[in-house]
């Protein structure tokens, strides 16, 4: 792996976490966030949809911001453009999440460094479904 934020040990640790806030999750099944949220649910994860309308998705509770989530969040999984990701990373830090996962193609080195400096596990520019597939093949 080429990125400091694709460490196999960190990825394994984050994949084992239970509560995932999926930023950018809407009820559009054509969107990647929807498909990955379904994968998370299939793996027994608790999912919270974070979207501008605060709508529930796939039977999961919905909120407008991470600050509205009732209870602790393990992973903040970010499905936003790279230029918008930093705001959500900062919200994850404020929410005391344990980890942030910036999805495939979502790259913000400065935000990743802020999260790491705050003690969060950071995974960037990959996808949980891809990483679970790698686990099976190893």
The CATH number that applies at residue 79 is 3.40.50.720
Residue 103, sorted as left (phi over 0), alpha (psi -120 to 50) or beta, turns out to be beta
Q: What is the pLDDT of residues 2-55, one digit of tens each?
A: 478 999 999 999 999 999 999 999 999 999 999 999 999 999 999 999 999 999
Number of structural domains (the chain) is: 1
| Residue span of the structural domain in which 111 resides | 8-137
Confidence category of residue 138, pLDDT binned at 50, 70, 90 = low
Asked, for residue 2, whether it belongs to a domain, the answer is no
Asked, for residue 114, whether it belongs to a domain, the answer is yes
Report the SS3 class of residue 124.
strand
From residue 89, give the alpha-carbon distance in Å to each of 9, 42, 80. Answer: 21, 25, 11
pTM: 0.94
Asked, for residue 3, whether it belongs to a domain, the answer is no
């Amino acid at each position: 792996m080429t990125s400091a934020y694709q460490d196999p040990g960190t990825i394994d640790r984050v994949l084992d976490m239970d509560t995932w806030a999926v930023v950018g999750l809407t009820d559009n099944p054509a969107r990647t966030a929807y498909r990955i949220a379904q994968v998370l649910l299939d793996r027994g994860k608790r999912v919270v949809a974070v979207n501008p309308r605060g709508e529930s998705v796939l039977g999961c509770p919905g909120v407008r911001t991470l600050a509205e989530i009732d209870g602790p969040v393990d992973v903040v999984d970010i499905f936003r453009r790279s230029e918008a990701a930093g705001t959500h990373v900062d919200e994850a830090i404020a929410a005391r999440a344990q980890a942030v996962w910036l999805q495939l193609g979502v790259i913000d080195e400065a935000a990743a460094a802020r999260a790491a400096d705050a003690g969060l596990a950071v995974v960037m520019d990959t996808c949980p479904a891809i990483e679970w597939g790698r686990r099976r093949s190893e």
